[in-house]
Amino acid sequence: MAAPLVRILSRSCSQRCPVRALQSGGWRLRSTSSAPDLYSDQSPVVSFPPLQTYSEEEAMMRDAVKKYAQERIAPFVSKMDEASHMDDEVIQSLFEQGLMGVEIDPDYGGTGSTFFSSILVIEELAKVDPSVAVLCDIQNTLINTLLSKLGTAHQKSTYLSRLSTDMVGSFCLSEAESGSNAFALKTRAEKHGDFYTINGSKMWISNAEHAGVFLVMANVDPSAGYRGITCFIVDRDTDGLEIGKKENKLGLRASSTCPLNFDNVKVPEKNILGQIGHGYKYAIGMLNEGRIGIAAQMLGLAQGCFDNTIPYTRQRVQFGKRIFDFQGMQHQIAHVATQIEAARLLTYNAARLKEAGRPFIKEACMAKYFTAEVATLTTSKCIEWMGGVGFTKDYPIEKYYRDCKIGTIYEGTTNIQLSTMAKFIDKEFDQ
């Protein structure tokens, strides 16, 4: 039986971003807020829609995921955080809802939607549990995208149908000696006839506990430096692949992060993804897109924390009035709300640029950097606004606070984002 979101979105003959749709006179767009009566005589179709304007399909996707997250994920969040384990029922429900194959072609069982829809999914999931958003983000923006773009017909038929229905994927790049300098990796792949033997190790591999397939970056020619890096598809049950003990982390505790060891792991030549020696290009491209996914995680996290805090400030009475009514509190709340809104616009802009085929790397870095900063600010302020109860596990605020810290670290630290932005700014002034 088709997943609910698959049925919803398959009614559309094509999945286009709002800008393209407007150019072709196709979709009507729905904003997050309805227009006042003063403007009711204006056409709902505009040439340059606001960034927070969704196509009908995007709006349905967003609303459906919001409802799903509240009903199917929220009841498990506290237990999963305490156990440092993603509940199998949650993972299964993600597949049932079509959320693990958002952009995969329906021919392979996917939802057949857009990159922007993936970003909306990640944002909505992160409002409830950022750990679940990480699982979904990696699956959609890294694993599925790489296989869809680079896979052979055989690779697509073998893996995409599983990735959209019952298999988790994992992306293996980082190593002990190659963090921010990812292309200094030491994992080696040596050719022997029609197969390669992989030896080495990986660290900080997300989704590893549940993954059925790994996309592994290994160097086939160390003398060529990063130009020898190649991407291999490695099945979980391959001899010699060992998944280590999960890291005991500060936040995102339900999201598994494990080391991997490769000891003479034999991989058939047909499992090379893309071209030999082009792995570094693929990794750069995916990490640039992935930064928008991280931004969506941090955006959703900040909004979820804010949404869980403001009702308390409106109910809590001190000195005879709601703490929300103190001017000092109002100014802080307004400031944080503005920062979240700015973070949303940066994230959506980067996603729309990517989807439209326009340059987006600088904007992706800006979105990733800024949303991580905003998530840090928001979660810290929310704990302060709630006082002592915000510091306890009786409320989800302290979890958001713990979960957000990784946003300044993974898929490029804050300083890496700033350095990349500066390079683009420098080039812009050369013109």
Q: List, by residue number, the catalytic residues.
A: 411
Whether the Cβ atoms of residue 236 and residue 211 lie closer than 8 Å to each other: yes
Measured CA to CA in angstroms, residue 113 lies from 7, 27, 55, 133 at distances of 12, 15, 12, 17
HSE-CB at 214 with a 13 A cutoff on CA atoms is 29
Q: What count of other Cβ atoms lies within 10 Å of the Cβ of residue 237?
A: 7
Q: Are strands 272-273 and 188-192 parallel, antiparallel or unpaired?
A: unpaired
HSE-CB at 38 with a 13 A cutoff on CA atoms is 1
Whether the Cβ atoms of residue 186 and residue 177 lie closer than 8 Å to each other: yes
One-letter amino acid of 4: P
Residue 86: closest CA among 243, 259, 258, 210: 210
CA-atom Rg of the chain in angstroms: 22
Instruction: Tell me how long the chain is.
Output: 431
Q: What is the spatial distance between Cα 292 and Cα 286, in angstroms, rounded to a whole number?
A: 10
Q: What is the spatial distance between Cα 323 and Cα 336, in angstroms, rounded to a whole number?
A: 16
Q: What is the spatial distance between Cα 203 and Cα 78, in angstroms, rounded to a whole number?
A: 26
Q: What count of other Cβ atoms lies within 10 Å of the Cβ of residue 67?
A: 11
Q: Is 309 in a helix, a strand, or coil? A: helix
The encoded tokens of residue 343 equal 């973070």
Q: What is the spatial distance between Cα 73 and Cα 132, in angstroms, rounded to a whole number?
A: 8
Backbone φ/ψ region at 206: left (φ over 0), alpha (ψ -120 to 50), beta: beta
